[in-house]
Structure 1
Amino acid sequence: MSNQSQKPSVNIGVQKEYEENSLFRNLCYGLEEEGIPYQFFLSDDKNVHKLANDAANESRLNVGVGIGDQDNIIIQHKKLNIDQPFLEKKVDEDFQAKIMGSNAARLVKGIPIKDIPLEDEYSRNSIPEQKREDIVKEINKANDTAKNTTTTKINKETNNETKEEKPVNQAQNAEINSDDVERITKLVLEALKDS
């Protein structure tokens, strides 16, 4: 029987060994990002389908999630059969658990769910390490050139007859050449294109 005194939230049934698990934390992050509150309970039950079903039946939003049993996450709606949940996925990565949390929230909102890719979008779009090193070298070279130019400019100013005392912040006065900026930008774009 549903506890109507609790606040409207998605309920999460968690096998005890998953309480400190990063998958559980990321599932909660996904719900939070979508703005849906959640509550959880710990259980010794090894049947994740039952955990998800119990969670859905206790939720005032009619949506429950079960997590456990070798990284299995099940999103269940109160009106669905226990053996035919809304979404079931064995997750291998934290980002997948976060998307599952987001999808549970989206079920509550009645909006389309997100696909769960095998690879994290961030790592898929990141620049390979060697190209990152090349870009950093170019940036450092451009900074060194700018500092040398500034030092030369300062030396010329101090050799003038007026010899004004001016506090100099080299980082502030360093000007990176527009050719350097263009070269670095091309390197970044090429690296992203190749990844």
Structure 2
Amino acid sequence: MSMVAKPVIVVATDSKGQVLNQILFGIEEEQVAFKVEPTVRENTIASAYQAAISSHFGVGIAFDEKHAILHFKGFPENEPLFIVSVDDNESLMNLGINAARLVKGIPFKNLKKGGDL
């Protein structure tokens, strides 16, 4: 008997704490499944893209000490969907909400731009 993987949003990170919690709160608010996996890339955009590729939904998130990044597998690797500052809890939660809304096909919440990488 083969195991079928449950569709999830993949969050790639090696850290725990407030940034991860805020992102997960947003995803949970929209009632979409997620999985936290260790990141394997030095580049955060590449980590987010790899997370999206490994997600059945095609949606991945990664973050570093400055930015949280939401990526979609249909986009070029160097063009993430959203980048927000990790210093803004509301934007982090909204990033999680938008990841879930991408899965559900409903309009995004507005995000404060997190700056360029």
1:91: how far off? 2.9
1:44: how far off? 5.1
Counterpart in 1 of 2:70? 75
SS of 1:43's equivalent in the other structure is coil
8 Å CA contact 2:40, 2:47 repeated in 1 = no
* 2:108 paired with 1:109: no
1:94: how far off? 1.8
TM-score under structure 2 length normalisation: 0.86
* 2:89 paired with 1:94: yes
Counterpart in 1 of 2:51? 55
SS of 1:12's equivalent in the other structure is strand
Deviations for 1:1-49, whole angstroms, at most 9, x for unmatched residues? xxx83200100111x2xx2220111100000000111001122532111
Structure 1: how far apart are the matches of 2:42 and 2:104? Answer: 29
* 2:65 paired with 1:66: no
Aligned CA RMSD, in angstroms, stands at 1.7
- Give the total of aligned pairs: 111
8 Å CA contact 2:84, 2:111 repeated in 1 = no
More strand by share: 2
**What code does the residue aligned with 2:94 have?**
I
Point out where structure 2 has 5 or more consecutive residues left out of the alignment.
none
Point out where structure 1 has 5 or more consecutive residues left out of the alignment.
119-195
Match of residue 36, structure 1, among 21, 32, 45: 32
Deviations for 1:59-116, whole angstroms, at most 9, x for unmatched residues? 1111111111x23111111111011111112231222211110011111111111112
**What code does the residue aligned with 1:90 have?**
S
